[in-house]
């Protein structure tokens, strides 16, 4: 298949939307340049619950979701939709158990970008992300299997209903119940009722996001199941399918490729901007503030420099992602290895104050070691996973030689590292 490249309008759309995102940050930085550090980190509880709710959702709809989840559906099927059940359970627990405690304690750091700019930038970016999904879904002209269930109890199966519901519940609890990014958003809303509304709006929002990613993946399979661009050599990884389908089928509409690229960048920016601001908050509140006495203006400068430093470090780490087989599996594996222990710490601290410090530390160390062992094992001793069949028989301009042979099912895995990454 011929590869289509960006035209002038694509670059205009991409640059314009990126400038818009950056401009929001610059605008709020200029308007609030004389504000104190508390205003910078929590907006003095002046934000409305609607934009904060969208910001909560955008903070975890990363480029790994926009590129990785549809490609996972293309490769392994539509069972990922059951993750919406797990996200709903996690958000409900956050709304009625964890969030009220964080809100009443009025904390800046849960361990004890300016947040306005981050929130309003996320609102723009979440709109772009859903626009990208809609563009891809609109490409489908074929029938395909929609939502399926699998109640296989084997922990070695990559995706089953059980592993998706349980795995996503724990992972999303780590994000909504024990995460600095969300805690800052809870405390930036004017009332406890508004904070709960913001969380509850995330229930249909996250479910919609999950369903749209699955529909995008099914569209990819409907279009490329019989002409897999990986087999023809047009792309190297399934993670490249989302931008590929836009350039392949919608190239006659200038600007859409640029819009897709902007959506991918936006999904990264929404997560990273939230993370930088929250990391800066934790660093100042928990590590720097107890050790030094400074004025509010100096503290604000230190917080901004700290956020910029974390941004530079993350850019260096990003170069490693290109070497990984799947950004979705990498994200779930690394995130899951820490989410479970972190949720356990906060659950014990908030609901079971009788638990002692030494026991919590010991349990956390053991839990991290076990999950890290499983995660590293899955990288060092990878197993062959089930994938949906794809061919090149539907390609119009591609020749291939088919050699007959026999298929031998892979051996049943036995190593701990062969457990599904949703259990990590």
The kind and range of the H/E element at 244 are helix 241-249
**Which bin fits 309, alpha (ψ -120 to 50), beta or left (φ > 0)?**
alpha
Counting other chains too, the contacts that 92-97 makes at CB distance below 8 Å and 24 or more residues apart are 92/203, 93/173, 93/176, 93/177, 94/173, 94/176, 94/177, 94/182, 94/199, 95/196, 95/199, 95/200, 96/196, 97/177, 97/350, 97/351
- pLDDT cut 70: percent of the chain above it: 71
- Residues 24-49: pLDDT tens digits? 766 766 665 555 545 555 555 667 78
**Which bin fits 4, alpha (ψ -120 to 50), beta or left (φ > 0)?**
beta
Other CB atoms within 10 A of residue 138 CB: 11
- Residues 216-264: pLDDT tens digits? 888 888 888 888 998 888 888 888 888 888 888 877 788 888 888 888 7
pLDDT surpasses 80 at 9: yes
Please provide the distance, in angstroms rounded to a whole number, between the alpha carbons at the two ends of the chain: 39
**Average pLDDT taken over every residue of the chain:** 75
- pLDDT cut 90: percent of the chain above it: 2
Q: Is 189 helix (H, G, I), strand (E, B) or coil?
A: strand
What pLDDT sits at residue 329?
A: 65
What pLDDT sits at residue 88?
A: 92
Residue tagged 């070497």 (tokens): 323
Which of these, 175, 215, 41, lies nearest to 113 by C-alpha position? 41
- pLDDT bin (cut points 50, 70, 90) of residue 114 is very low
- pLDDT bin (cut points 50, 70, 90) of residue 405 is very low
Other CB atoms within 10 A of residue 30 CB: 8
Residue predicted with more confidence, 14 or 418 = 14
Phi and psi for 189 in degrees, rounded to 5? -100, 150
Q: Is 247 helix (H, G, I), strand (E, B) or coil?
A: helix
The residue ranges of every structural domain in the chain are 8-323
- Classified by CATH at the fold level, domain 8-323 comes out as Sodium/glucose cotransporter (1.20.1730)
Q: What pTM does this model have?
A: 0.73
161-176 helix and 192-224 helix, angle to the nearest 10 degrees: 140
Distance CA 379, CA 273 (A): 29
Distance CA 169, CA 31 (A): 39
């Amino acid at each position: 298949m011929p590869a289509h490249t960006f035209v002038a309008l694509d670059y205009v759309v991409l640059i314009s939307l990126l400038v818009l995102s950056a401009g929001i940050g610059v605008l709020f930085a200029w308007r609030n340049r004389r504000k104190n550090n508390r205003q910078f980190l929590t907006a003095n509880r002046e934000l409305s619950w609607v934009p904060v709710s969208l910001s909560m959702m955008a903070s975890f709809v990363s480029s790994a979701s926009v590129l990785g989840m549809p490609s996972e559906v293309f490769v392994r099927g539509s069972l990922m939709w059951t993750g919406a059940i797990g996200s709903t359970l996690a958000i409900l627990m956050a709304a009625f158990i964890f969030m009220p405690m964080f809100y009443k304690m009025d904390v800046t750091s849960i361990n004890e970008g300016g947040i306005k700019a981050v929130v309003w930038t996320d609102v723009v970016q979440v709109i772009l992300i859903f626009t990208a999904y809609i563009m891809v879904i609109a490409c489908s002209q074929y029938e395909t299997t929609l939502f399926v269930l699998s109640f296989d109890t084997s922990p070695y199966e990559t995706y089953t209903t059980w592993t998706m519901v349980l795995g996503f519940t724990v992972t999303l609890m780590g994000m909504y119940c024990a995460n600095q990014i969300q805690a800052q958003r809870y405390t930036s809303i004017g009332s406890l009722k508004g904070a709960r509304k913001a969380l509850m709006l995330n229930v249909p929002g996250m479910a919609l996001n999950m369903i749209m990613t699955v529909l995008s993946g099914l569209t990819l399979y409907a279009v490329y199941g019989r002409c897999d661009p990986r087999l023809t050599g047009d792309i190297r990884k399934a993670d490249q399918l989302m931008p590929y389908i836009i350039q392949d089928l919608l190239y006659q509409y200038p600007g859409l490729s640029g819009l897709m690229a902007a959506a991918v960048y936006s999904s990264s920016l929404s997560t990273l901007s939230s993370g930088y601001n929250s990391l800066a908050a934790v660093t100042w509140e928990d590590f720097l503030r107890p050790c030094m006495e400074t004025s509010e203006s100096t503290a604000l400068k230190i917080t901004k420099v700290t956020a910029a430093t974390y941004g530079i470090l993350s850019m260096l780490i990003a170069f490693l992602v290109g070497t990984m087989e799947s950004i979705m599996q990498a994200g779930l594996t690394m995130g899951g290895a820490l989410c479970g222990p972190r949720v356990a710490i906060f659950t014990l601290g908030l609901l079971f104050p009788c638990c002692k410090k030494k026991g919590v530390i010991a349990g956390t160390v053991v839990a991290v070691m076990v999950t890290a062992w499983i995660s590293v094992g899955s990288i060092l001793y990878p197993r062959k996973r089930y994938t949906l069949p794809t061919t090149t028989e539907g390609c119009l301009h591609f020749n291939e030689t088919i050699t007959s042979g026999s298929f031998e099912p892979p051996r049943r895995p036995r190593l701990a590292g062969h457990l599904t990454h949703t259990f990590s």
